[in-house]
C-alpha cells in the first residue's frame, strides 16, 4: 500500500525567487523550506520519481536544477 499526498508549491518558491508557502492537501499551508525539502526529497527518490515521470514528463525537466541546489 502506498500513501499519497498532494503538495502544491509555487514554481517561484522552488526556484528560490519567492517565499510563498506550499500547500499540503487536506492540511493547509506549510513552511516554505518544508515544501522545498519535501519536493527535493521526492525528486531524488528513484521510486517516487519514476511514478511522477509516468504521470508528468515535466517533472524530469525540474529535477536537475533542484538537485543542484
**pLDDT grade for 48, boundaries at 50, 70 and 90:** low
Residue with cell 521526492: 42
Q: What are phi and psi of 37, to 5 degrees?
A: -65, -40
Predicted pLDDT of residue 51: 56
Predicted pLDDT of residue 67: 52
Query: Residue 34 CB: number of other CB atoms within 10 A?
Result: 15
| 65 or 38, greater pLDDT | 38
Residue 12 has pLDDT above 60, yes or no: yes
Q: Where are the beta strands (DSSP E) in 1-69?
A: 7-8, 22-24, 28-30
Between the ranges 22-31, 33-42, 44-53, where is the mean pLDDT highest? 22-31
Amino acid at each position: 500500500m502506498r500513501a499519497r499526498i498532494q503538495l502544491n508549491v509555487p514554481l517561484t518558491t522552488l526556484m528560490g525567487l519567492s517565499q510563498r508557502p506550499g500547500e499540503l492537501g487536506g492540511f493547509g499551508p506549510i513552511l516554505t523550506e518544508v515544501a522545498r525539502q519535501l519536493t527535493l526529497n521526492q525528486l531524488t527518490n528513484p521510486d517516487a520519481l519514476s511514478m511522477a515521470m509516468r504521470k508528468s514528463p515535466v517533472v524530469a525537466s525540474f529535477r536537475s536544477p533542484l538537485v543542484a541546489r
